[in-house]
Every structure is written in C-alpha cells, then in structure tokens.
Structure 1
Amino acid sequence: MARIVVETTYDPPISQALWDELVERGMPCLVERNITWKQTYLSCDRKRSICELEAADADTVRAAYQRGDIPYDQIWSADLIETLPATI
C-alpha cells in the first residue's frame, strides 16, 4: 500500500457540520476501495486540510473522492522522511 496525501482548501472556512457531512459521505467510498484513513491536519483557520491515507495508489483515492463528491485540490503519493540527514 502507498501513502497518499490529499490537499484541500475551503473558501469560506469549512464548518463542523460540513466536515461531518463530507466524512459521512466519503467513508463508504474509501471502504469499498480498501483505503485507510491515517490522519488529517486542519488549519486553525479551517481553510486548508491535509489528509494522509493508505491506498493502492493516488488514482484509487481520486476515484473515491470523485464518487463521494468530496472536494480536493491535489492528491499525490508520498514518502515519509522520519530522520534528517546528519549534514543539516
């Protein structure tokens, strides 16, 4: 499985009610494609989010988001860098 990042912006800032609706609408689409949610960062002003998912590939996540009519700006595969090089 690949680590997938989803970037989304919200204008106006996303309300808790809309956030809850998107999660409820999107979860079945993620489950049917064997996508696992790992974590989400929501900016303090509620205008941006970064979601980390585990999936076969970015196209699988795109298909799930499109089926659930979930907004996103970019979806891409990523590697996690857990340590900094000694030269920094």
Structure 2
Amino acid sequence: MSAAAAIFTQQDLVAQAAKVFDAVRQFGRAEIRTQEGETFVMAKAGNESEQPPAREEVLARMKAHYQKLKELGHIPPAAADQERINQIIAGEI
C-alpha cells in the first residue's frame, strides 16, 4: 500500500460510495476490506501506467546516495545509539 491511501470496509463502500470515490481522487487509491478478510484496491483509471521503479534501480539510487554521504564525511550512529535515537523520535524521551 502506498504511503497515502484510505482504508474502507465493504459496508462503507455500499453506504458511502461518494466518500470512497473522494478518497480515491485525493490519494489515488483506496483499499476496501471485506468481512471475509479480503482486500481490494480501488484506483482511478489511468494509474496503471504508473509503475514503481524497478528494484535494481532503487537499490542503485540508494547505493549512490550512501556513497555520497560517505564522501561528505557522514558517520552513521553506532548500533548502541540507534535505540536511543528511535526513542527520541517516538517521543518516549
């Protein structure tokens, strides 16, 4: 699922179809979950051509990014410090 998508139940689709369509217009897609546990994706027609980048392309881009950071002198935090950083981000500290 994309970072920004709406999730609805099958009952929402039946009772409030306009609300589901508005979410599809806003986010580009919406998930519909049935009582049986199935999940369907509703997307605006024309989105089929928007393919996500190939895995190799993403990995190459990430590798280049980390190489650039390394060249700039970036030193990643030690594994021992990462838990504290995660707690700070989560607002626990």
Return the TM-score normalized by structure 1: 0.25
Return the TM-score normalized by structure 2: 0.24
Larger radius of gyration: 2
Q: Kindly indicate which of the two structures has a greater share of residues assigned to helix.
A: 2
